[in-house]
Amino acid sequence: MPLLEIKDLHASVADKAIIKGLNLTINPGEVHAIMGPNGAGKSTLSNVLAGNDAYAKTGGQVLLEGEDIDEMAAHERACAGMFLAFQYPVEIPGISNMYFLKAAVNAVREAQGKDQLDAMDFLDLVEDKKKMVKIRGDLLERAVNSGFSGGEKKRNEIFQMAMLEPKLCILDETDSGLDIDALRVVSDGVNALRSEDRGFLVITHYQRLLDYIVPDFVHVLVDGKIVKSGDKTLALELENEGYASWVEE
């Protein structure tokens, strides 16, 4: 069964049609990249998938492991194994990262019918994932993202992703504004998490990220529709030629 199936999706923001008939299927183990010019609807797509109420799905169907996500609230989508990394991670002052993560991990486990992790098991999991993502211990004790540098926020987000063990990871322009070190953090983290039962949707404006996270499929999104799909070489083509040929059509 596909992990994610998007069929003829239509969506609007503030009564303006943005996504205009989008189709995409992601199978377990696959990494798909969506590239497109500014304003193409990339963030609208990720917000609709996440269940952000400000974005209205106006047509089509989105199935997460065969289940229609219309029936699921945002937190239920997360519990069903969807994880979204956004361009601008939120700060949550006063809530420690560790506390936040324990609550999140156990909420997902509860929804999936698994036992709650006790303090010891949770710390074991933290140690395990810390090594995988190479995050500093002190960042885990601090309030969520509070005063974190751009690179630290990214590392923390990848750490959250590792802790939650999602089935489908969606990264929306998580590379924008990152220096080369932070870019490596994101891509090393994603690559460490790649597995045959997990899928990724990597949304980016720039080809650069895809030098590090090598996708299985690349799709070009222009004006709310996928206008071309191909393998990783399509990303290089776009880098050389830009989006002009599609935008003008």
Least separation in angstroms between residue 42's CB and ligand ADP is 3
Query: Per-residue string for binding with ligand ADP, 7-26, x by CB under 6 A?
Result: ------xx---x--------
Residue 1 as a binder of ligand ADP (CB under 6 A): the answer is no
Residue 194 carries which DSSP code?
-
Reference 201, options 53, 36, 69, 56; nearest CA is 36
The interface with Mg ion within residues 26-55 (CB under 5 A) comprises 38, 42-43
**Spatial contact of 231 and 32, defined as CB atoms under 8 Å apart:** no
Residue with tokens 């980016």: 204
Comparing CB distances to ligand ADP, the nearer of 52 and 96 is 52
Strands (E), the chain: 4-13, 16-26, 31-35, 55-64, 67-68, 82-85, 92-96, 143-144, 168-172, 199-204, 217-222, 225-230
Q: How far is the CB of 43 from Mg ion (least distance, A)?
A: 3
From the list ligand ADP, Mg ion, none, partner contacted by residue 51 (C-beta under 5 to 8 A by kind): none
219, interface contact from ligand ADP, Mg ion, none, CB < 5-8 Å by kind = none
Q: Which stretch binds ligand ADP (CB under 6 A): 31-39, 112-120, 125-133, 208-216?
A: 31-39
Chain residues that interact with ligand ADP, rule: CB under 6 A: 13-14, 18, 36, 38-44, 54
